[in-house]
């Protein structure tokens, strides 16, 4: 990320782009990506004695921690609601066509791994020829993304650059492509043969701000969910690798002998796993025994358990393998996951800012012909935690008739994804119930009148 005065980019010139690309560093993102994939430090370990066992076992706590955080935070989709039904329906239609739930999850994965996530907004014609807002996440490893903010206290995004090197498979020529996104115009610059960038094309957009949206994981410090435990993960990898090494060494132990005349060369002794101390004065003193290193298994196991505990504690992830965790319920369970819940709350606040920016930019497109306020959309997150549906229903029923609004009661029921829609269904069912009852009352009333009329007519006939 860079900070510039807005006046410095009023005119987009090639020199600015070249300077920003030159100063952009992606080493940290590459490191986080490798550790998530399991490409850890242990894989590069070498011993001076190549004959020694050198197992390289990776226990990928980085992947586990990231997946746990993302699953708990975004395992259940974000729920949107609004009193403006027409506006909400337009937003929902756009979100459905973009597969918004999947995109949110992918962005949450980026935030967890790298400390931030990025998406791009653009427009695309639908089948009827009308341009629709579209948005897609930008994988940070495949796309080099530069974000430029202004120097104000609000830290407004004033420029974004997406660049990559392209190699033509036909003539092997290489070129550097840079897409530059500003408040009103998108530019496409190309650099060939290390010459200066030249403008290939430009296109106006109607989003009203830079159409690249960013999401922080835990703030602009860009800290991933597992970045702090990487040294501990390296230690854990080494511990379990050395365990296997020592096991192999014991299986392939060296035979220590003395009292034998012929002494092989050092390399030959290594290959034969033999250590010969030579001839003894008396033949009966000749002997042989295995040379085995004493292993303190209990100490090693304690080291692994302590390292594992430190990893889970520092990453705010509960130990799911703990038997007491499985037996916990209600308040006890919530207390055990409190560190994870605190982290989720932090993630939610920053992720909500990104979702509001997305809605605001989409609304700018809709407001070309409409007049909506993006703040009319209410955003609600759901933590992905096993719930007791029967208890939820019982608690909700207990609140009926109290001073708590029905909408709040529905929100307390975790298995209901869209409380606003559920409320509409209830109101519709109530209206239908009232209508049917009224019709039944009318029918009964009419039947009563008919009986009275028939009785009266019968009496008149009888009198005649």
Host domain of residue 183: 1-253+298-385
Pick from 219, 30, 213, 2: nearest CA to 118: 213
Give the model's pLDDT for residue 260. Answer: 53
Examine residue 83 and state whether it is found in any structural domain, yes or no: yes
DSSP 232-259: HHHHHHHHHHHHHHHHHHHHTPEEEEES
Same domain, 262 and 360: no
Residues 165 and 219 placed together within one structural domain of the fold: yes
pLDDT of residue 462: 47
317 and 212 in one domain? Answer: yes
Is residue 227 domain-shared with residue 284, that is, in the same domain? Answer: no
Whether 244 and 261 share a structural domain = no
- How far apart are the C-alpha atoms of 123 and 258, rounded to whole Å? 83
Please identify every stretch of the chain with a pLDDT value under 50, giving residue numbers as ranges. 266, 282, 460-464
Residue 347, φ and ψ in degrees, nearest 5? -60, -45
Query: Is 11 inside a domain boundary?
Result: yes
The answer to the question of residue 65 being in a domain is yes
CB 318 within 8 A of CB 342: no
In a domain, 445, yes or no: no
Q: Is the four-CA dihedral 139, 41, 235, 320 of positive or negative sign? A: positive
Whole-number Å distance between alpha carbons of 253 and 245: 12
Number of Cβ atoms within 10 Å of the Cβ of 446: 10
Q: Is the Cβ–Cβ distance between 365 and 123 less than 8 Å? A: yes
- Check if the beta carbon of residue 130 is closer than 8 Å to that of residue 97: no
CB 62 within 8 A of CB 224: no
* Total count of domains within the chain: 2
DSSP string covering 150-188:
-SSTT--EEEEEEEEEEE-TTT--EEEEEEEE-SSEEEE
User: How would you label 328-364 residue by residue, b for 16+ Cβ within 10 Å and e otherwise?
Assistant: beeeebeebbeebbebbeebbebbeebbebbbbbbbb
371 belongs to a structural domain: yes
Residue 36 within a domain: yes
> Can you tell me the distance from the alpha carbon of 372 to that of 364, in angstroms, rounded to the nearest whole number?
9
Residue 367 falls inside a structural domain: yes
- Whether 239 and 206 map to the same domain: the answer is yes
- Residue 285 shares a structural domain with residue 321: no
Domain boundary at 355, 385, 415, which?
Answer: 385
Last residue of a domain, one of 364, 385, 406: 385
Q: Do 375 and 363 sit in the same domain of this protein?
A: yes
**What tokens appear for 419 in the block?**
């409380």
In a domain, 145, yes or no: yes
Residues 339 and 286 reside in one and the same domain: no
Answer for the pair 42, 241: CB distance below 8 angstroms, yes or no.
yes
What is the pLDDT at residue 63?
97
Predicted TM-score of the model (pTM):
0.79
Residues 127 and 269 in one domain: no
Residues 112 and 235 placed together within one structural domain of the fold: yes
All residues at 6 or more sequence positions from 190 whose CB lies less than 8 Å from its CB, including other chains: 175, 176, 177, 178, 197, 198, 200
Which of 291, 320, 349 lies at the terminal end of a domain, its last residue? 291
What is the model's pLDDT at position 1? 84
Is the domain of 168 the same as that of 302?
Answer: yes
Q: Which DSSP string corresponds to 16-52? A: HHHHHHHH---HHHHHHHHHHHT--GGGG---SSTTS
Asked whether 151 and 4 are in contact (CB, 8 A), the reply is: yes
Q: What are the phi and psi torsion angles at 173 (to 5°)?
A: -80, 150
Phi, psi at 461, each rounded to 5°:
-65, -40
Amino acid 292: pLDDT: 60
């Amino acid at each position: 990320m860079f900070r510039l005065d807005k006046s410095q980019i009023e005119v987009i010139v090639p020199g600015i782009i070249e300077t920003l690309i030159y100063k952009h560093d992606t080493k940290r993102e590459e490191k986080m990506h490798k550790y998530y994939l399991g490409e850890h430090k242990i894989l590069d370990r070498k011993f001076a004695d190549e004959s020694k066992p050198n197992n390289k076992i990776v226990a990928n706590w980085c992947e586990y921690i990231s997946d746990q955080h993302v699953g708990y935070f975004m395992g259940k989709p974000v729920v949107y609601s609004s009193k403006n039904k027409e506006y909400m329906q337009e937003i929902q239609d756009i979100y459905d066509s973009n597969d918004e739930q999947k995109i949110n999850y992918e962005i949450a994965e980026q935030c967890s791994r790298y400390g931030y996530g990025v998406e791009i907004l653009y427009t695309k014609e639908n089948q009827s020829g009308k341009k629709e807002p579209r948005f897609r996440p930008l994988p940070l490893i495949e796309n080099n993304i530069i974000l430029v903010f202004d120097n104000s206290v609000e830290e407004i995004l004033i420029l974004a650059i997406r660049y990559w090197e392209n190699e033509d498979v036909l003539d092997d020529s290489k070129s550097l492509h840079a897409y530059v996104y500003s408040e009103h115009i998108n530019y496409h610059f190309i650099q060939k043969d290390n010459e200066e960038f030249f403008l290939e094309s430009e296109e106006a957009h109607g989003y009203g701000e830079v159409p690249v949206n960013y999401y922080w994981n835990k703030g602009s410090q860009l800290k991933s969910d597992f970045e702090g435990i990487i040294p501990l993960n390296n230690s854990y990898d080494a511990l379990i690798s050395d365990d296997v090494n020592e096991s192999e060494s014991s299986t392939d132990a060296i035979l220590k002998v003395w009292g034998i005349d012929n002494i092989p060369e050092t390399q030959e002794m290594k290959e034969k796993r033999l250590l010969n101390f030579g001839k003894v004065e008396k033949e009966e003193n000749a002997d042989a025994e295995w040379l085995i290193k004493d292993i303190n298994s209990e100490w090693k196991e304690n080291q692994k358990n302590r390292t594992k505990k430190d990893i889970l504690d520092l990453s705010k992830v509960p130990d799911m393998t703990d038997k007491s965790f499985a037996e916990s319920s209600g308040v006890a369970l919530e207390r055990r996951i409190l560190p994870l819940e605190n982290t989720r709350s932090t993630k939610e606040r920053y992720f909500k800012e990104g979702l509001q920016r997305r809605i605001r930019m989409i609304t700018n497109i809709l407001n070309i012909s409409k007049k909506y306020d993006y703040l009319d959309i209410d955003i609600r997150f759901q933590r992905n935690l096993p719930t007791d549906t029967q208890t939820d229903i019982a608690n909700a029923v207990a609140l009926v008739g109290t001073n708590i609004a029905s909408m709040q009661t529905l929100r307390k029921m975790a298995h209901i994804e869209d409380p606003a829609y559920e409320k509409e269904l209830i109101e519709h069912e109530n209206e239908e119930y009232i209508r049917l009852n009224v019709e039944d009352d009318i029918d009964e009333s009419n039947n009563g009148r008919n009986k009275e009329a028939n009785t009266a007519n019968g009496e008149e006939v009888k009198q005649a």
